[in-house]
Copies of this chain bind each other. A is one copy, B any other.
Amino acid sequence: MHTVLAGGVGAARYLRGALEAFDPTEVTAVVNVGDDVMLHGLRVCPDLDTCTYTLAGAIDPERGWGLVDESWQAMAELGRYGGENWFSLGDRDLGTHLFRTQRLDAGASLTEVTAEITSAWGLQCRLLPVSDDPVETRVTLADGDEINFQEYFVRLQHDVAVSSVRFDGVDAARPTDAAIAAIDEATTLVIAPSNPIVSIGPVLAVPGVRERVEARRDRNVAVSPIVGGKALKGPADRMLRELGEEPTVVGVARRYRDLAATLVVDEVDAVLVPEIEAAGMRAIAMPTIMSEPGVAPALARACHEAGGTP
């Protein structure tokens, strides 16, 4: 089994490559739930949905989030009323949230609902929320205000400085049995190229997860989300700097060295391999920018081999 600790876009692209490289039924993602949010009564799970829509080939290629062939009638009406509509929910996408909310209200677990959703899209891999319990990533801004992650990420377009991040509710959250098994039983466990602080961070913060991952460190491989000192997408580089870490592959290595033996970095960072190794991780430099065809499956294969041969 090829198991991936996953956030949103970067993880989804990695997983798409893994589905091409391996038997899809052998691919499992353990997905962040810290950016889940209740909006207007609906349970919205952006990372699970980004993975689902991407793997189903239904993600909007231009926006990079949400569904293709989307319309925005509900949001237009919400705007007419002066309602809060900074988080855009497309009409098709709303169908997902309506279904999830309906099933959760009927007593299904998030794990069960997610399996129903991925099955309806024809996915053969498994997407497992790390926990069925609510966890809320909260961000304290430099001015002292603490806000929900989506308010930071979407409403403020992450264009503000952050002083700290915490995961509300995480101490009471339990990882699911399926997520723990997927970590324990993986041939290779990959930490996807997602934001280390707000995508991978909440997965690891669920009690028991970090210990399980560390216990099998030698068969774990992380893929750096930082390329040439920048995040390919999102605020990972700025967040690392604002929280006092180095926004380079070396900073990533310092964050991940207890979790994985190997760090895969982009070829543009090959020059930093000695520094990564000095920080305590084996390093592989290769193409990691997955917008190029063929890169993601090759990356998945390389990770799998690196994990299988520590």
Does B73 contact A105, Cβ atoms closer than 8 Å? no
Report Cα–Cα, A98/B43, bound state, in Å: 12
Q: Mark A28-45, 1 if CB is under 8 A from B, else 0.
A: 000000000001111100
How many angstroms from the CA of A84 to the CA of B95 in the assembled complex?
A: 11
B92 & A94 in contact (Cβ 8 Å cutoff): no
Q: Which residues of B contact A73 (CB under 8 A)?
A: 70-71, 73, 90-92, 94-95
- In the complex, per-residue mask of A106-136: 1 if CB is within 8 Å of any chain B CB, else 0: 0000000000110010000000000000000
| Complex CA distance for A31 and B115, rounded to whole angstroms | 42
A80 at the interface (CB under 8 A from B): yes
Q: Known: A42-B40, A101-B41. Is A95-B80 also a contact (CB below 8 A)? A: yes
Task: Please name the residue on chain B nearest to A117 by beta carbon.
Answer: B81
> CB of A75 within 8 A of chain B?
yes
User: What chain B residues lie within 8 Å of A98 (beta carbons)?
Assistant: 40-42, 74, 77-78, 83, 89
Residues of B close to A78: CB separation below 8 A: 95, 98-99, 102
For the complex formed, measure the closest distance between the CB of A84 and the CB atoms of chain B, giving whole angstroms: 6
Is A96 part of the contact surface with B, judged by Cβ < 8 Å? yes
In angstroms, Cα B40 to Cα A186, docked, is: 36
Cβ–Cβ contact B120 & A99, under 8 A: no
Contact of A81 among B42, B70, B75, B96 (CB under 8 A): B96
Q: Quick check: A92 and B74 within 8 Å, CB to CB?
A: yes
Contact of A105 among B41, B90, B99, B101 (CB under 8 A): B41
Q: Is A82 engaged at the interface, CB distance under 8 Å to the other chain?
A: yes
* Contact call A103/B83, Cβ cutoff below 8 A: yes
- Which single residue of chain B is at the shortest CB-CB distance from A89? B98
Q: Return the contact of A95 from the options B74, B90, B96 (Cβ within 8 A).
A: B74
Partner of A102, one of B79, B84, B94: B84
Cα A240 to Cα B24 in complex, Å, equals: 59
For the complex formed, measure the closest distance between the CB of A242 and the CB atoms of chain B, giving whole angstroms: 31
Q: A76 at interface (Cβ–Cβ under 8 A)? A: yes
Closest CB in chain B relative to A167 CB, distance in Å: 23
Chain A residues proximal to chain B, CB less than 8 Å: 39-43, 70-71, 73-84, 89-96, 98-99, 101-103, 105, 116-117, 120
Q: List 25 A-B contacts (CB under 8 A).
A: A40-B99, A40-B102, A40-B105, A41-B41, A41-B102, A42-B98, A70-B73, A71-B73, A73-B73, A73-B95, A74-B74, A74-B92, A75-B95, A76-B95, A77-B93, A77-B95, A77-B99, A78-B99, A78-B102, A81-B99, A82-B120, A83-B95, A83-B103, A91-B94, A94-B94
